[in-house]
Every structure is written in structure tokens, then in C-alpha cells.
A and B are shown apart, each in its own frame.
Chain A
Amino acid sequence: MAEVTLYHWEPNANSGKPMLALAEKGVAFESRYIDMLEFDQHKPEYLAINPQGTIPAMLHGELVLTESTAIMEYVDEAFGGPSLMPDNPQDRWRIRWWMKFMDQWLGPSFSMLGWSAFVGPMVANRPKEELEALIERIPLPERKRAWRKAMFGQFGEEEIAESRRRVSLGVALIEAGLGKREYMASDTYSLADINIFNSTYSLPMSDPALATPEKTPNIWRWLKAVYRRPAVQRTWAMGRGRLAERFHRIMEDLG
């Protein structure tokens, strides 16, 4: 058995964070694919690993680690390879600040818009009783509420509008931030880039009105640089289906 085992979905959003961090550090890991669209993350065998039913989760020897951003910091500290956190304390503060901004303010809005568009249609053919049973086995009450909203299309106009406002403002703030430094939070590639890339890599396709070479030249420059990183390409080679196809199409379009 490998020293590191990672339970993950596509190299997208949260699952992609430890995948990319491990790849940058050159750490081999055993991959356990958890199909979020089949609700594998709420099955008893996965809940035995992470009782909260959230992905990703990482095993390192006997240790079980959860929460994607915290796992990334662990990976950076526990393994050799290139450092993904600079030594400068203010840069480290800035990296953490941007990661929290994404995890707790901007990311949930990306997620709400994505789920409102995709989860409902994805489960439309499943009987209501089956969906209720799927919801019932979700451990966290807030995740239960989120899945129920998404499965039954219960989003209000106001909350969707608020998510759109946040995405629009968040993208503008990222553009401004990337105008100040080579990378998101420092002049070297860091965990903040991995975190933010994982929620913005698809902007050229998902929100072409918001991110273009003309409107957001700094984001464009940065996306190109991150897409071309060997660790990013190796990681996305592990992707399956629609998201991986989208990744490769955007990479071709970026040139």
C-alpha cells in the first residue's frame, strides 16, 4: 500500500487541491476515485474514512486528514520537494487570506451557481423517494440542506442574484490582485494559486462575459501559466469525462 492514499473526485475545486499539491511536491499517492455524481461520498464505506462525508480525504500512514485547504498546508509541510509557502510571514498571511476568501466567500457562490445549473438536471430522472433516501444519509445538516435545494431546484432568485454579484466582484478582485504580483498572493507559485485556480480554471468557458483576454488580462496571463505547469497537466490526465474534456479544450484555446 502506498504511504499516501487520496480519496477524491475530479481534479476540480476541493478534490483538486491536494491532488495538485501532491503533484507539485512529487509525492506519489494511491488514487481512490469517489464518484460524487453517484453519491459515493455518502456511502458507508467512505463514511468509515470520513464520517462527515466530504471529499477529499487523505490517508498518510495511520493519519486521516480532511478539509482540502488544511490538507494542502499539511502536504506542503510534511513532504519534501518545492515549497508551496514562501518564508516571508506577510506572504504566508496573504496566501491564507486569499484561500479563506475563496473557501468561505467566493467559492460557495461559484458552487451555488454550478449546482443550480447541473445537479437538478443530473438527477431529474431519479425517483423522488430515491433522492430523499440519498439526502437522508448525508451526515452534515448544512450539506443536507444544500443537496436538497440543488436536487429539487429550490434556489431563490435573490440568492442566485447574490451569488452572481459575488462572482462578478470576486473575479474583479482576483484580476486586481494579479495585477500587483506575478502570482495570486506572492511572487512565487503557492497554495493560493492552486486553491484559486481550482475554482477559476473554467472561467473562459463557463463565464466568457466575465473573463476575457481584454477584460481580465492578468487572469488570462496567470491561467496560461498555471495550465502549463507539468504538475497541473499530470493531475488533469487523471480526470475523467466532461470536466477533463473541458479542461483540455480551454487549454487549447488559451494557446
Chain B
Amino acid sequence: MILYHGDPNGPSLTVLAALEESGLAVECRAIDLLAGERHALPGISERVALDMSVEGEGPVLVCGGEAMTDAIFIAQFLDRQAGHCGLQPRDPHSHWQMMMWCRQVTERLSPAVALLGNLANSRDRLRAMADADFTRLVEAVASADLRERWIALRDGDPDPAQVQDSMAKIDEFAARVESRLEGGRGWLIGGFSIADLATYAWMTGAVLLREEAFAGKPRLEAWLRRAGGRDCVRKALARSKAADPRRSFAPGPEINRWG
């Protein structure tokens, strides 16, 4: 197995930390997601999940020639592959709660943070690219809607309604975590799980983008410190090639287009 990953932020952080927690021996290869390197990976015979990932530019685990994507599902795979390393609750109801929480992360939190994070951190680099280089980059992106998100990020004007909505979603999610941690709860669902990893992976970058969402939330603040202090998270963050991985973004999931 080979894991191609970006700098440890967002989905790449979720998977790198899950891999550390699992203890599995997987070869890790860092790639530059914002240079489009994910679309030129070698040795892939089954690529639908790479081409059509709902997550956008996330890590890719290649296993038996098949490209596996979508960070939460890769983390679940690693947990099971390691004979249940503790990243998923075993009782059905807690497992349902974890999946429900993670779906909120993928549908609400991650599109919001990705939009704001890309505008703040990635757009200038794409704009500095020569037109011909950028055209080559997007031509390699198989999904037309993901390609459109690359083009909109570089050449479009931010949609004020989407920006406003994204800020509101980060505010809501911060309040949701603060409320979830009431009553002395240490982690979001039972013990430390993929719900904590996936939430931390997006929230840690959101702190720089929407500081006011985090103000006056002591339980959220303590949880961020606790999650960031986990061995698996510290080891994943240590792989960073950037000065601050919280600023590493590439086009992510789309904003909900229907219902």
C-alpha cells in the first residue's frame, strides 16, 4: 500500500493521524496537492474513486492498484485493517453516532473551511502560475465539477453569499462541538475516534480563518489542545513541509447544490 498525501491539514491530516494510530506499515509519499500532483499518480488500475471523489483534493491510498479516497472511509479502512485499533466505537449505536457526526463534518464543516481556506491561502499561488501551466493542471482533472472549482478559485470572484454561509457554518460547528462536550465529555463520541480526528483536521485551520467562532468556548479550546496533543496527531503534523500546515489547502468539496 502507498499513501499519497498533502501537507497535514484537512483530509490529509485525518488519514495521516489515523495511520499513525493504526501502527500499520504503509509507505507514505508526500505530494503537492495544489500543484495538481494527485492527478498524475502512477500504478493505478482502478481510478474511479480518485477521479470522482466527493472530497476533492484529498489523500489517495493505493491498494492493489485501486485508488482509495475520502479520508473518513480510509481512516475506517485503516482501523479495521489493523484489527480495530480503537478509532471506531464497536457498539452499533455509538458507531452510528460517529458516522452521523462525520457526515456533518463532510457536508457542512469541510466545504466551508475549504472555501475560506483556499481563498485565504491558495488563490495567490494559483494566480501566480502561468496560464499555460494552469491550463495543463486543470486539464488533468477528470471531474468537470472539481475542475470548475479550481478555475473559480483562480479566476473567479468569491460569491459573497457562499462566503457568508461558510462563516455561519463554521460558527455553527464550533457551537456544536462546545455543546457536545458538556458534562465533562472528553471526546466527541465515547473514546477518541475518527469523529475527533476529522473534526480536528478541519477545525485547526478554521481557527485562523474565523477566530470569532472560537471565542468564549472553553470546552472547544480544551478539546483542540487535547486532540492536538495526541501522539498520532503530533506525529502526523511533524510530517509537514510547510511552515504552518494549517494554511495548506487545495480545492475541496463543493458547497451543497441541492437540498
* A residues whose Cβ falls under 8 Å from a Cβ of B: 63, 65-67, 70-71, 73-74, 77-78, 89-90, 92-94, 96-97, 100-101, 104-105, 108-109, 111-112, 142-143, 145-146, 159, 162-163, 165-166, 173, 176-177, 180
Which residue of chain B has its CB nearest to the CB of A79?
Answer: B92
Q: A92-B77, A97-B73, A166-B145 are in contact. List 19 more A-B contacts (CB 8 A).
A: A63-B93, A73-B99, A74-B92, A74-B93, A74-B96, A89-B81, A93-B73, A93-B77, A97-B49, A100-B106, A104-B54, A108-B259, A111-B258, A145-B259, A146-B259, A159-B258, A162-B145, A176-B48, A177-B48
27 contacts across the A-B interface (CB closer than 8 A): A63-B93, A67-B100, A67-B103, A70-B96, A70-B99, A70-B103, A73-B95, A77-B92, A77-B95, A89-B77, A92-B80, A93-B68, A96-B70, A100-B54, A104-B106, A104-B107, A105-B54, A108-B258, A109-B258, A142-B256, A143-B259, A159-B257, A159-B258, A162-B145, A165-B144, A173-B48, A180-B46
Q: Say whether A101 contacts B144, CB under 8 Å.
A: no
Closest to A70 in B: B99
Residue of A nearest to B259 (CB): A146
B contacts with A: majority SS: helix
Chain B residues within 8 Å of A100, by CB:
54, 70, 73, 106
Say whether B70 contacts A97, CB under 8 Å: yes
Alpha-carbon distance between A101 and B49 when the two chains are bound, in angstroms? 9
Q: Closest A-chain residue to B258, C-beta based? A: A108
Given contacts A100-B54, A177-B48, A180-B46, contact A90 B77 (CB under 8 A): yes
On chain A, the residues within 8 Å of B95 by CB distance are 73-74, 77
Interface size on B, residues (CB 8 A): 32
What separation, in Å, do the CA atoms of A94 and B258 have in the docked complex?
Answer: 25
With an 8 A cutoff between CB atoms, is B52 at the interface?
yes
Given contacts A70-B103, A92-B77, A104-B107, contact A111 B96 (CB under 8 A): no
Contact of B76 with A by CB under 8 A: yes
Q: How far is A108 from B106 in the complex, measured between Cα atoms in Å?
A: 15
Interface flag for B195 (CB, 8 Å): no
In the bound complex, how far is the Cα of B225 from the Cα of A79, in angstroms?
38
Proximity bits, B71-91, A CB within 8 Å = 1, else 0: 001101100110000000000
User: Would B54 and A93 count as touching, CB distance under 8 A?
Assistant: no
Q: A143 — nearest CB in chain B belongs to which residue?
A: B259
B81 and A97: CB pair below 8 A?
no
Q: Does B69 contact A (CB under 8 A)?
A: yes
- Whether, in the assembled complex, B37 has its beta carbon less than 8 Å from a beta carbon of chain A, the answer is no
Query: What's the least CB distance linking B52 to chain A, in Å?
Result: 6
CB pair B52 A96 closer than 8 Å:
no
Q: Which residue of A lies closest to B101 (CB)?
A: A70
Q: Judge if B20 is at the interface, Cβ distance under 8 Å.
A: no
Q: Is the CB of A101 within 8 A of B93?
A: no
A-chain residues with CB within 8 Å of residue B256 when the two chains form the complex: 108, 142
| Interface presence of B171 (CB below 8 A) | no
Cα(A74)–Cα(B90), bound, Å: 11
Chain B residues, CB < 8 A from A71: 96
Residues of chain B within 8 A of A176, CB atoms compared: 48
Which of B46, B95, B259: most chain A CB closer than 10 A? Answer: B259
Measured between alpha carbons, how far is A78 from B68 in the docked complex, in Å? 27
The CA-CA distance from A163 to B144 in the complex, in Å, is 12
A96 to B69, CA, bound (A): 11
Q: Which residues does chain B contribute within 8 Å of A165, judged by CB atoms?
A: 144
The chain B residue with its CB closest to the CB of A176 is: B48
With a cutoff of 8 Å between Cβ atoms, the chain B residues found around residue A162 in the complex are 145, 257
Is B52's CB under 8 angstroms from A90's CB? Answer: no
A140's nearest neighbour on chain B, judged by CB, is B259
Bits for B98-120, please: 1 = Cβ < 8 Å to A, else 0: 01100100110000000000000
Per-residue contact bits, chain B 136-158, to A (CB 8 Å; 1 contact, 0 not): 00000000110000000000000
- Whether A146 contacts B258 by the Cβ 8 Å rule is yes
Q: Is the CB of B49 within 8 A of A108?
A: no
Q: Is the CB of A93 within 8 A of B74?
A: yes
**Cβ-based interface call for B63 (8 A):** yes
Asked whether, in the complex, the Cβ of A90 is within 8 Å of the Cβ of B63, the reply is yes
Shortest Cβ distance from A71 into B: residue: B96
Q: Give Cα A165–Cα B257 distance, bound, in whole angstroms.
A: 14
A112 to B256, CA, bound (A): 12
Kindly state the separation between the CA atoms of A224 and B68 in the bound complex, as whole angstroms: 29
Please give, as numbers and ranges, the residues of chain A lying within 8 Å of B52 by CB-CB distance. 101, 105, 173
B45-73 CB contacts (< 8 Å) to partner A: 46, 48-49, 52, 54, 63-64, 66, 68-70, 73
Q: Contact at A111–B259, with CB atoms within 8 Å?
A: yes
- Report how far A112 CA is from B259 CA in the complex, Å: 9
